[in-house]
Chains A and B, each alone.
Chain A
Amino acid sequence: EIVMTQSPDTLSVSPGERATLSCRASQSVSSNLAWYQQKPGQAPRLLIYGASTRATGIPARFSGSGSGTEFTLIISSLQSEDFAVYYCQQYNNWPLTFGGGTKVEIK
């Protein structure tokens, strides 16, 4: 099983600032990596797939990069609606696995 490790656990950021979230895979997942946003009481929402392709309707302030074992999600200028928990997920191998999540909170 591929273990996905996200860091940091919590990120405190002021509105308008940039947030950088990291995700590391225990072995290569190529570019088969997705990012999700989840707000309290809601289902996750797909942000990024293929490591760097924004899903439909996702604002350009969200960008993903990386391949192999190291991945990054950048939110260029945090808006109030961006404070949430973010998860990465690999879909290169079964079983599919998620990272533990990074909570982005208001500083």
Chain B
Amino acid sequence: EVQLLESGGGLVQPGGSLRLSCAASGFTFTSYAMSWVRQAPGKGLEWVSGLSDTGGSTYYADSVKGRFTVFRDNSKNTLSLQMNSLSPEDTAVYYCAKAMWTTDAFDIWGQGTMVTVSS
């Protein structure tokens, strides 16, 4: 079964850091680009960051550029998001998403992990 399982969410104070992980299974992880997409409570979807199948190319939304770092460990089928200098505006459910072959439409999504930034 194709599956993405996020972990690492939680409560963090403003200015703090958190690392999210996404464990992939059921497909050839090394062949697909991956992304993180977030959704603030009651709001729409916001693409956050993505990277190529090799991890050699990375991309960020302006809202997180310079604060978040995306990376992958293809030997462990794991995608990660290091989040620094967190603010309350980063509070959201964070989804890990798999891009389709040759497109960046997302055909597989994880269940999401909640990140709350609050004092």
- Residues of A that sit less than 8 Å from B by CB: 1, 32, 34, 36, 38, 43-46, 49-50, 55-56, 85, 87, 89, 91, 94-101
Check B100 for interface membership: any CB of A closer than 8 A.
Answer: yes
Residues of B within 8 A of A95 (CB): 47, 59-62
Known contacts A32-B103, A43-B109, A97-B47, then 16 further A-B pairs from the complex at CB < 8 Å, ordered by chain A residue: A36-B45, A36-B106, A43-B111, A44-B106, A45-B109, A46-B106, A49-B105, A87-B44, A87-B45, A95-B61, A95-B62, A96-B47, A96-B104, A98-B37, A98-B44, A101-B44
Q: Which of B50, B95, B104, B105 has the most CB of A within 10 A?
A: B105
Which B residues have a C-beta under 8 Å from some C-beta of A? 35, 37, 44-47, 50, 59-62, 95, 100, 103-107, 109-112
Task: List the A side residues contacting B109 at CB < 8 Å.
Answer: 43-45
Distance, CA A50 to CA B107, complexed state (A): 12
Q: Are A91 and B107 in contact (CB under 8 A)?
A: no
Tell me how far the C-beta of B20 lies from the nearest C-beta in chain A, rounded to whole angstroms: 15
- CB of A34 within 8 A of CB of B47, answer no
Asked whether B46 lies within 8 Å of A98 as measured between CB atoms, the reply is yes
Complex A-B, nearest 5 residue pairs according to Cβ-Cβ distance, in ascending order: A91-B104, A49-B105, A34-B105, A43-B109, A96-B47
A73 to B3, CA, bound (A): 27
Inter-chain contact A100/B44, CB cutoff 8 Å: yes
* Contact of A34 with B106 in the complex, beta carbons under 8 Å: yes
